[in-house]
Amino acid sequence: MQVETKVKAINCLHFINGQFVESQNKKSFENINPATEEVLGTVAEGGKEEVDYAVAAARRALNGKWKNITTGERSKILRRIGDLILERQEEFARLESLDTGKPFWLANSIDIPRAAYNFHFFADYMISVNTDANQQDDQAIHYSYRRPVGVVGIIKPWNLPLLLLTWKLAPCLAMGNTAVIKPAEWTPMTATLLMEICKEAGVPDGVVNLVHGFGPNSAGGAISEHPDIDAISFIGEPGTGSAIMKAAASSLKKLSFELGGKNPNIIFADSDLDEVVETTIKSSFINQGEVCLCGSRIYVERPAYEEFLKKFVEKVKTLKVGKPENEDTKVGALISKEHYDRVNSYIEIARNDGANILTGGKRPEGFDKGYYLEPTIITGLDRNSRCVREEIFGPVVTVMPFDMEEEVIVQANDSHYGLSATIWTNDLRRAHRVAHQIEAGIIWVNTWFLRDLRTPFGGMKNSGIGRTGGMHSIDFYSELSNITIKL
Ligand code: NAD
């Protein structure tokens, strides 16, 4: 069934010092709907000038009225932002789906409610953050004092636009910082609407600023090298992280990086295969496989290999690839022509490496327009194939058998990435044993994507620097001073 489209796309302007503004030179670019290849609207194209203007506004706001707003009042503002997102949930979900090509029901049931929850969670969490005091015999008392880091640059990817922006912006505001945000060029709409909501919720002018644009030699580059930005929170590819790190080095910015993944999904033969298949379908193909946490390397213990593959392939063949607005669509469109070509190039690599494509590997029939690709399951690849080693970030997984626990641990760790992993087993001791040896920041046992926002989130190796979530986010978005008083 098709859902009625009530919300129209929006033309996106920058939001600086509490106002929506065009670029100084009136430059803009087109925003393309990946499901239809039609133009959704225009986006102001910012660069150094707009970033300078936004940073100056953020610096003024840091030392203005925002500084004197109490923790309790800031918490109320955060809660109000979350409430307002929920009041306009359908509008947000519609814009997110138009921008990304993801199914509307997915945006409406996960991305947008979770974005609101990011604000609600930190609104509660921030008021429980307290100060440690230590007394040193009768010599001295030491206590720590937390203050904002300052002006924070937030640079975002396109896959979960509002969810990931709010994951950073909520703790950033909770700790009293001000922000200059750059959304991904492919997905500017929900970030723009969020600015309207921040203003309505009572965020003072200049506290939150948004500059649209691209990466190098554009808004992203200007934020990374700006001498008056104190910290950068970045989510995206490792190569971009490296470029940002270089640009930020001259002003020694504090950095938080959440980067890519090539996550192993390890299935032991003692696990409940029906449950495994059900969750593995999600961990492989939800959001068209465009989630950093997707388990794209599936390792199955040999006794269960054939049965798992049979059940998995059968179910995946029934997944409906379709228009994002249709309720029965399970896999929507990929983000862009460029990305669609890139994902297809990996399928070509797999073919050249002698792989078996058990299902998918092509554009579904009946689509003249839009970047649609069938969910693809590949077997028969060597661990050195680029398809097994590199992040594809699309609806493509490889499946490989294994015989020994030690062997699969080595294979799982044979990656430059270390974001997440999933282990399926009903053997408690093995679950702990294997989990302790997997080099990843987030490890799930018999589940996937189950999150408690207090827990550390982030990757090791090329998957990131630092952790976010609960106190980890509070630590990044604040500076601690220790004060010692001689008694
Ligand atoms: P990307 O690195 O290409 O772009 C991310 C952002 O950085 C965009 O806003 C882009 O304009 C900007 N940018 C690009 N070059 C820049 C430069 N030189 N200086 C400053 N800014 C620059 O990533 P993407 O394609 O948008 O997103 C996909 C990647 O993000 C994947 O690798 C995925 O795994 C990763 N990701 C990680 C997480 C996580 O939590 N670890 C979450 C989502 C996505």
Does pTM top 0.80 for this prediction? yes
**pLDDT for 132:** 84
Q: 274 alpha carbon to ligand 1 midpoint, in Å?
A: 35
CA distance 111 to 177: 24
Atom of ligand 1 nearest to the CA of 213: 11
- The answer, yes or no, to whether residue 23 has pLDDT greater than 60, is yes
pLDDT tens digits for range 109-123: 999 999 999 999 999
Burial class of residue 328 in the structure, from the number of CB atoms within 10 Å of its CB (0-12 exposed, 13-18 middle, 19+ buried): exposed
CB 208 within 8 A of CB 178: yes
Q: What is the rounded distance in angstroms from the CA atom of residue 216 to the CA atom of residue 224?
A: 9
Contact assessment for residue 97 and residue 36, using Cβ atoms and an 8 Å cutoff: no
Token couple for 182 = 């750059």
pLDDT at res. 474: 98
- Substitution site in 160, 292, 461 for ligand 1 pocket (most atoms within 8 Å of beta carbon): 292
Query: If you take atom 23 of ligand 1, which residue's CA is the nearest one?
Result: 236
Q: What is the ipTM of this complex?
A: 0.97
Q: Is 258 assigned a catalytic role?
A: yes
- pLDDT of 290 strictly over 60: yes
d(CA 455, CA 451): 8
Burial class (CB in 10 A: 0-12, 13-18, 19+), 246: exposed
Averaged pLDDT, 62-77: 97
CA-based Rg of the chain, rounded to a whole angstrom?
A: 23
Q: Is 378 in the pocket of ligand 1 (CB under 6 A)?
A: no
The C-alpha atoms of residue 95 and residue 195 are separated, in whole angstroms, by 14
Q: What are the pLDDT digits (tens) for 175-221?
A: 999 999 999 999 999 999 999 999 999 999 999 999 999 999 999 99
Rounded percentage of the chain residues whose pLDDT exceeds 70: 99
Q: Over 60: is that where the pLDDT of 273 sits?
A: yes
- Give the mean model confidence (pLDDT) for residues 361-365: 97
Q: What is the pLDDT of residue 130?
A: 84
Distance between CA atoms of 383 and 2, rounded to whole angstroms? 42
| Residue 2 confidence (pLDDT) | 55
The model's pLDDT over 297-352, given as tens digits with 9 standing for 90+, comes to 999 999 999 999 999 999 999 999 999 999 999 999 999 999 999 999 999 999 99
What integer pLDDT is reported at residue 9 of this predicted model?
Answer: 79
pLDDT digits (tens, 9 = 90+) for 24-37: 999 999 999 999 99
Ligand 1 geometric centre to CA of 135 (Å): 45
Q: Is the pLDDT of residue 292 over 70?
A: yes
The per-residue pLDDT for range 30-60, each reduced to its tens digit, is 999 999 999 999 999 999 999 999 999 999 9
Beta bridge partners of 399: 298, 379
Q: What is the reported pLDDT for 137?
A: 85
Q: In angstroms, rounded to a whole number, what is the distance separating the alpha carbons of residues 231 and 251?
A: 10
Question: In this model, does residue 375 exceed pLDDT 90?
Answer: yes
Residue 3's pLDDT band, with cuts at 50, 70 and 90, is low
Q: How far is the CA of 232 from the centre of ligand 1 (A)?
A: 13
Instruction: Order across the sheet with 478-486: list the strands.
Output: 133-136, 140-148, 478-486
pLDDT band at 4 (very low <50, low <70, confident <90, very high): low
User: Given 45, 258, 374, 391, which residue is catalytic?
Assistant: 258
Average pLDDT, the chain: 97
Probe target for ligand 1 pocket from 43, 159, 255, 263, with the most ligand atoms within 8 Å of CB: 159
Going from the Cα of 293 to the center of ligand 1, the distance in angstroms, rounded, reads: 14
Q: What is the pLDDT of residue 6?
A: 57
| pLDDT for the residue 484 | 96
- Residue 27: its pLDDT value, please? 97
Q: Looking at residue 5, what is its pLDDT?
A: 54
The CB of 43 under 6 Å from ligand 1? The reply is no
Average pLDDT for 213-235? 98
258 lines ligand 1 (CB under 6 A): yes
